[in-house]
Amino acid sequence: MSKNVRIQIAKRAEKEIQDGFYVNLGIGMPTMVANYISENKNIFLQSENGLLGIGPYPTEGEVDPDLINAGKETVTAIPGASYFSNAESFAMIRGGHIDLAILGGMEVAENGDLANWMIPGKMIKGMGGAMDLVHGAKKVVVIMEHVNKAGQPKILKKCSLPLTGQSVVNRIITDRAVIDVTGNGLELIEVVEGYTIEDIQNSTEPQLIISDKVLSKQN
């Protein structure tokens, strides 16, 4: 995925963050969202390794090797930021104090199942905090490419990879579309410029419900 596409997805994900929200950004592309948060929003970014009040990525002169996020990337801290133990951080998550978790995804199923923590046979360092976040956060948004490197859909009828959580995803934001997980199925609510409804359906395994907003724009 090109840097421009990653930025496009991160900027769209930022729109999910409302003023006053406590937000957790997952490892990988979700951490980019911190760079595009509107100055008009008073929000608090939380990291499961013990920091509340994450700022954007540091410039070369701002780098502090002791100040990192859960993905071990160097970050900045906004004025008033708080530092605490990993245990307290997970108490925040498990206690339902996180308004929004923006996570990466390998696969998402039509019922909201998420697979994002491992690929069998590949070495991993651990499951991280995703399993707690998908159950503890009030809303879960997954950002990812719409298809994998082989061109196959990543939005499936049923996940083939080990699950992070069952029926936990509320919204999917990809390089092609924005899709909501509803009780009636997956609803296409936005189509990225350059794509059509047919393009999105052809690259999505489950049958999509097309929102009136999308239909009116395409007609």
Residue found by looking up tokens 């298809």 in the block:
147
For 89, residues 6+ apart whose C-beta sits below 8 A from its C-beta are 46, 47, 48, 49, 50
Closest CA to 140 of 176, 165, 174: 165
Catalytic one of 14, 16, 39, 48 = 48
Residue 62 among the catalytic residues: no
- Residue 98 has, within 13 A of its CA and on its CB side, a CA count of 32
Nearest to 186, CA basis, from 115, 195, 173, 194: 173
CA-based nearest residue to 21, from 54, 50, 43 = 43
CB 143: neighbour CB atoms within 10 A? 27
- The residues carrying an active-site annotation are 48
